[in-house]
Amino acid sequence: MPANLTLQINPDDAAEAAVARAMQRLSLWLDGRFTEEISAVKWSYPTPPQVRDIVDTGRLRASQTRIPNGPNSVTFSWPVEYATQIHEGGVSTQTGRAFPGRPWTKLPLEEASAKFGELLDQEMRKLK
């Protein structure tokens, strides 16, 4: 997983405004979900405590950035030098031991399609 992630929706009908509002709401929801995943005590690790959150110094979580790229696109980034290593797994620079990836974007992105559908439904109902 790269340190940047771009999500884009391409509407093709008169409901573009509803899609844009739903996308904006989805981006806010994803912002919160990514932070929840980083903070969740659920990630396996080879040394005690063996189930933990991803937060050590808080820099990764604090670096999370959400940049709208227009009405139907948003880019999330985690501009710290070790973000990809944490997400995908790697080797500790302190101990030389391998550690597993902790893909904090995986579950929120799996949930995003259904959430977008829910939000879009809400926005389309406002048009009636």
| CA trace torsion 51, 113, 70, 31 (10° rounding) | -20
**pLDDT, tens digit only, all 128 positions of the chain:** 557 777 666 555 657 888 999 999 999 999 999 999 999 999 988 878 889 999 989 999 999 999 999 888 999 999 999 999 999 999 988 888 898 999 999 999 999 999 999 999 999 888 76
Tokens of 1: 């997983």
pTM for the model stands at 0.85
3-state DSSP call for residue 77? strand
β-strand 4-8 against 43-44: which pairing, if any?
Answer: unpaired
> Each residue of 14-38: pLDDT tens digit?
578 889 999 999 999 999 999 999 9
Provide the pLDDT for residue 1: 54
- Cα–Cα distance between 128 and 126 in angstroms, integer? 6
The partner residues of 6 in beta bridges, in order of sequence, read 75
Provide the pLDDT for residue 42: 95
Domain segments of the chain: what residues? Answer: 4-126
Provide the pLDDT for residue 48: 83
